[in-house]
Structure 1
Amino acid sequence: MSNYCDPLIAALKDCVLHSDCVLKQGNLPSTCIKEHMDELPEQCRALRLAAFECKRGMLDMRKRFRGNNAGAAVAKIKQDTEVPPAPPTVTSSA
C-alpha cells in the first residue's frame, strides 16, 4: 500500500518536467510546484491535487473500509498514457 500513490506522483513529476516553467523559464521543478503553480498546465494542477488526495487518503481511517479513491485516478492516468495499438497491416500475396 505504500506505493499506491506512486503512479500519480510519477505522472506529476513528468508533467512538471515537461512544463514551460521548467523548460523555458529554467526553474527547478520544486520551485514550479511551490511558487509558480498558476503557470503550470491544468493537467499538472489536477495531478498535484490527486496526489495530495491519495496521500491523505492513505492516512484516513474511514477509507480503510471504503477504499482509497485514488485508484480511479491511477487507472485514468494509465489509460491516457497507453499508446493505442497500431491497425493491422494487410499484405497481398500475389
Structure 2
Amino acid sequence: MADSSPQAPARACDHVLALLKECLLRSDCVLKRNELPSTCLKEHFEELPLECKLLRNAHYECKRGLLDMRLRFRGNNLSNNLPLQDRHEVDAPDKS
C-alpha cells in the first residue's frame, strides 16, 4: 500500500498528458516533417494546432497545481481548464 501513495500525485495529470501526446502525433510537424513530438514542442510550438497548445498549457497548469499548496483547499480542478471549454465553443455553430 505504501507504493501507491508516492505515485498517486503523478497520475493526476496523466489523462491530459495522453491527450497531448495524441494531439502531437496527429500534428503536421510529426506526420509531414517526421519530427519527434518533443522537438515539435520545443522548436515548432507556434506551428502546432491550437488544441495542442491548449493541452500543453492544461498539462502545465495541472502539474503546477500539484505543487501549489493553496490548491490543497480548493482542489486541482482540471475540469475548468481552457482546452475542454474551447472544444465545445469550436464545435458549436455560430449564432450570427
State the distance in 2 between where 1:7 and 1:26 align: 25
Gaps of 5+ in 2: 1-7, 89-96
Q: Structure 1 runs of 4+ off > 3 angstroms? A: none
- TM score, norm. by length of structure 2: 0.73
For 2:78 and 2:64, how far apart are their aligned partners in 1? 10
State the percentage of identical aligned residues.
56
CA RMSD across the alignment: 1.8
Q: 1:27 aligns with which of 35, 41, 66?
A: 35
What count of residue pairs does the alignment treat as equivalent?
Answer: 77
Give the number of the structure whose residues are more often helix, by fraction: 2
Aligned to 1:58: 66
For structure 1, the residue ranges without an aligned partner over 5 or more in a row are: 81-94
What whole-Å deviation, never above 9, does each CA across 1:38-66 have from its counterpart, x for those lacking one? 01000000000000000000000000000
Higher RCO (C-alpha under 8 Å, 6+ residues apart): 1
Larger radius of gyration: 1
